[in-house]
Amino acid sequence: MKSILLTGGAGFIGSHTCLSLLENGYEIFVIDSYINSSRKSLENVLKILKKKYNRNLKNSLNLFEGDLKNVRDIEAVFQKANEVNKSIEAVIHFAGLKSVSESMAYPLCYWENNFYGTINLLKIMEKYNCKNIVFSSSATVYQTKINQLLNERDKCSPVNPYGQTKLAVEKLLKDIYKSAPSEWRIACLRYFNPVGAHESGLIGEAPFGKPNNLFPQITKVAIGIMSEIKIFGSDWPTPDGTGIRDYIHVMDLSEGHISSLNYLLKEKPQMITLNLGTGKGTSVKEFIRTFEKINNVEIPFSFVERRPGDNAFVVADNSFAKSILSWEPSRNIEDICRNGWNWQVMNPDGY
């Protein structure tokens, strides 16, 4: 059985990917500082598996509380894995801070966590001869285009510190790959807008404090924790005047990680960059209307000024990912609304 290390594995995307990896027979190691997550997410992953397969996979999930800013915390995981003869074959590197607005207020903190943390991780990976990594990058690295799908060859020019840290890590990975191209297998996955929750309602997105993204705001308004959605701009050059984004169900995204990992491990050493999105755009208004219809709830909204750095249209060209991975998103906006609402109703206060 292959052992995979997930940094930030207790977080939103990490916990759903943990579930998919365990379902696919992988042994998992997780390092998380819990700065933006709860221990309960991975307990619930085990509950889902117990219910579905009547199997207790607790022994396949090895948890370590630790911070990537502390190189010793990372080494402790690799050491432990070696001691128990389960040396780590690959890393999926989710750990990072992800709020655009916070990154503008605290750039040092974002650079230290996202960039320096990755340097520490790569140092230890080299030391333990682990040269396979899947990195959580983001569509925020792109310079956006008007009404055109973004593809991996498009120009990158992030407009905020969060996006800068993601692009900097991609560049660092490129240098590392070039230093030993016959050894490294690297995938940079540029996520578009991951949303929704596992259909069980036991794991989902549980942001600390006021959510920054649209979907958790919609579910918070629906349940009465927030009073309304403030839509940034009503005059974008789109059919209904609101911004268009590419929303991908978190389970489709998590399955994209399994496909990327399988691809990397079976193919020759290489570095690939892939857009993980659906290729379909949904406007803010359409998203709200769909949520209302599917879940029979009302979502009040009002319009405020556009945010600096925002764009009308951010949608993936996902044809490269679809062509090389045996992967394709299979869930739609309705599934996202249904599963996300189920999660919110079952867990009104998060974990």
Active site residues: 162
With respect to ligand NAD, which residue has the nearer C-beta, 8 or 256?
Answer: 8
Which residues, 170 to 199, sit near ligand NAD by CB under 6 A?
191, 193-194
Beta-strand runs (E) in the chain: 3-7, 27-32, 61-65, 88-93, 132-138, 185-191, 193-195, 229-232, 244-245, 247-249, 270-276, 282-283, 301-304, 313-314
Whole-number minimum distance, CB 103 to ligand NAD, in Å?
Answer: 10
Q: How far is the CB of 68 from ligand NAD (least distance, A)?
A: 4
Contact between 277 and ligand NAD per CB under 6 A: no
Local structure of 152: helix, strand or coil: coil
Site string for ligand NAD, 87-106 (x = CB under 6 A): -------xxxxx--------
Beta carbon nearer to ligand NAD, 96 or 279: 96
Residue pair 183/131 in contact (Cβ under 8 Å)? The answer is yes
Q: Does 118 bind ligand NAD (CB under 6 A)?
A: no
Q: Write the CB contacts of 254 (distance below 8 Å, at least 6 apart in sequence).
A: 13, 16, 17, 19, 20
Q: Which of 6, 11, 130, 339 binds ligand NAD (CB under 6 A)?
A: 11
Instruction: Rule CB under 6 A: choose which of 2, 4, 5, 8 binds ligand NAD.
Output: 8
Contacts (CB under 6 A) with ligand NAD, residues 26-65: 31-37
Query: In a 3-state reduction of DSSP, which class is residue 313?
Result: strand
What is the spatial distance between Cα 329 and Cα 213, in angstroms, rounded to a whole number?
A: 21
Q: What is the distance between the alpha carbons of residues 316 and 244, in angstroms, rounded to a whole number?
A: 11
* Least gap, CB of 33 to ligand NAD (angstroms): 4
Q: Record the tokens describing residue 330, joined without a space.
A: 């299979």
92 vs 264, beta carbon nearer ligand NAD: 92
Radius of gyration, CA atoms only, the chain: 19
Does position 204 bind ligand NAD by CB under 6 A? no
Collapsing DSSP to helix, strand or coil, 70 comes out as coil
Supply the minimum distance, in Å, between the C-beta of residue 163 and ligand NAD. Answer: 10
Is residue 138 at the binding interface for ligand NAD, with CB under 6 A as the rule?
yes
Q: How far apart are CA 222 and CA 208, in angstroms?
A: 18
With CB under 6 A as the contact rule, which of the stretches 6-14, 79-87, 124-132, 313-321 interacts with ligand NAD? 6-14
Return the structure tokens found at 153.
């060859």
What residues line the site for ligand NAD (CB under 6 A)? 8, 10-14, 31-37, 67-69, 94-98, 113, 117, 136, 138, 191, 193-194
